[in-house]
Amino acid sequence: MLSASHKNSSFDVLEMLSVGGGETAGNMVAKHDALSGAVIVATCNRFEAYLDLDEPYGVSPLPAVYAAIEAVSASTGISEDILRDTLTLLHGNGVAEHLFAVTSGLESVVVGEGEIAGQVRRALEQARAAGTTSPELERLFQRASQTSRGVKNRTGIGSAGRSLVRLALELAESRVSDWAQARVLLVGTGRYAGASLAALRDRGAENVRVYSPSGRALKFATSHGIAAVGTDDFAGEVARADVVVTCTLSEDHVIDAELILAGRAQVGVNSRTIATAADAVSLCPADAAPEAPPQLIIDLGLPRNVAPNVVDVPGVELLDLETISIHAPLEELNATDEARELVGRAARKFSAVAEEQSLAPAVVALRTYIFELRDAEIARARSRGDSSEQTEQALRHLTGVLLHTPMVRARELARAGEQEAYLSGLDALFGVRVELPDAAATDAVADSAAS
């Protein structure tokens, strides 16, 4: 797994990764023959590529990793050198524990937030649609979702419904005296918009309007019982709003200083004087209109929905993801410790099953060999005139007894990383030869992850 998040990367890099990084799975798989699958998890504060590498023991994974980084660079425009310095590499058993922790909200800006589980689930669905999943990645992501539900049901983490949206509104409390009287504009109708509207209503906001750069405002407004804003009225509505919450997937800024100034001129609000990037502009004399009241813009988008220059407009304060992450609360230690224990347990179980499955072809080969001997003995007995049901049942029972210990030992040896001993035993005792390049690789990667 290759990972960039709010913990190890700047928001500028995360913003660039969010623009093109989510579409790179197909390019990754195409760039290296050993990559049999890739799933990309791209959120507002995280970019992670989960890779299924089909290589035998002793072969370095770095060529496949560099191919994946090259694909990310081509999609995002970020240099490969920056990506190599930014992305954290995990492999082996550590990958499962990390994904389980991410899906459970333990690695989020706000520990325990609930949106990430849905984002991980959608990442798998997108990979399926693109044809870049593999059986092992399917199993990994499905188990991650199961673990997330278990953590949510069995611990107190996230019990208050904390999320990035709610944290942003908590930080806004000191700027909004009365949410019931505040005029709020919601920009966006995507996955965060519904959560944002619910969080606003929980705080008592009643005067909420919605605008969509993609033209979906009316549908969202109708289904949620609020008013829609058209494109012609957007600038004016931005100027009138006490609070603006943006959460769109637009790759361009939907609000900048010029839009706010134009909106204020349109509705007759004095913006005094603002210095733009080009030069200083004065929209209206100081006595031509009422002075602009304080205005808060909360930008939850990545890429950023709001241009940084809005803070140059008098009265405007910007609360973006970078600022929100700085004020993220400390973890609730008891709940987090319990949740991490559940995650670790689930990851160990996942790895144990993977190790057992690494000997599955050998077990199948042994069962096939024994069953063929059994069926030959049944046929031989019938040819000698012994076709009694008791004889056949006795032979089938003996087969089960003989296979019981080898199957138990397969699980034990696989979990101990001693697959080679099992394979050598099959060859020495029965002449059954099975090639398992992945068995040794699983063992080596597990040892590397543990160290």
The pLDDT, as a whole number, for residue 8 is 86
The pLDDT, as a whole number, for residue 136 is 86
Residue ranges in 230-332 assigned as alpha helix (H)? 234-240, 257-267, 321-326
Q: How far apart are CA 108 and CA 53, in angstroms?
A: 27
Q: How far apart are CA 136 and CA 109, in angstroms?
A: 28
Pair of tokens at residue 77: 């425009």
Q: What is the DSSP letter of 232?
A: G
The pLDDT, as a whole number, for residue 282 is 41
CATH topology of domain 164-326: Rossmann fold (3.40.50)
The pLDDT, as a whole number, for residue 96 is 92
Pair of tokens at residue 325: 């992450």
How many CB atoms within 10 Å of residue 233? 16
Peptide bond into 303 cis (omega under 30): yes
Q: How far apart are CA 187 and CA 287, in angstroms?
A: 31
The pLDDT, as a whole number, for residue 286 is 41
The pLDDT, as a whole number, for residue 333 is 46
Q: Taking the domains of the chain in order of start, what are their residue ranges?
A: 2-160, 164-326, 360-435
Q: How far apart are CA 35 and CA 134, in angstroms?
A: 10
The pLDDT, as a whole number, for residue 15 is 85
CB distance 137 to 40 below 8 Å: no
Strands 295-299 and 316-320: parallel
CB distance 198 to 204 below 8 Å: no
The pLDDT, as a whole number, for residue 448 is 37
DSSP per-residue string spanning 65-120: HHHHHHHHHHHH---HHHHHHH-EE--THHHHHHHHHHHTTTTSSSTT-SHHHHHH
Q: How far apart are CA 244 and CA 228, in angstroms?
A: 14
Q: Give the CATH number of domain 2-160.
A: 3.30.460.30
CB distance 17 to 3 below 8 Å: no
The pLDDT, as a whole number, for residue 279 is 38
Q: How far apart are CA 124 and CA 52, in angstroms?
A: 13
Q: How far apart are CA 186 and CA 203, in angstroms?
A: 15
pTM given for the model: 0.61
Q: Which residue has the tokens 């623009």?
A: 19
Catalytic residue among 14, 44, 127, 265: 44
Cα distances (angstroms) measured from residue 289 to each of 265, 270, 313, 369: 9, 5, 16, 91
Pair of tokens at residue 282: 């004065």
User: Residues in the chain, how many?
Assistant: 451
The pLDDT, as a whole number, for residue 158 is 61
Dihedral sign for Cα atoms in the order 116, 211, 236, 273: positive
Residue-by-residue pLDDT tens, the chain, 451 positions: 999 998 888 888 888 888 777 678 998 998 888 898 999 998 878 899 999 988 755 567 888 899 999 999 999 999 999 999 999 999 888 899 999 999 998 888 777 777 888 899 999 999 999 999 988 899 899 999 999 988 888 886 665 445 778 888 888 888 888 999 999 999 999 777 888 898 899 999 999 999 999 899 999 999 999 999 999 999 999 999 999 999 988 888 999 999 999 999 998 866 544 443 333 334 444 444 456 678 999 998 878 899 999 999 999 999 988 888 777 665 544 567 788 889 989 988 887 776 666 677 888 888 899 999 999 999 999 998 888 888 888 998 898 888 888 888 877 776 666 778 888 888 899 888 887 644 334 434 333 333 3
How many CB atoms within 10 Å of residue 345? 14
Q: Is 44 one of the annotated active-site residues of the chain?
A: yes
The pLDDT, as a whole number, for residue 450 is 31
Cα distances (angstroms) measured from residue 133 to each of 62, 83, 207, 278: 21, 23, 44, 49
Cα distances (angstroms) measured from residue 198 to each of 165, 166, 296, 320, 352: 10, 9, 19, 19, 41
Q: How far apart are CA 191 and CA 160, in angstroms?
A: 20
- Which residue, 307, 298, 188, is CA-closest to 257? 307
Q: What is the largest CA-CA distance in the chain?
A: 115
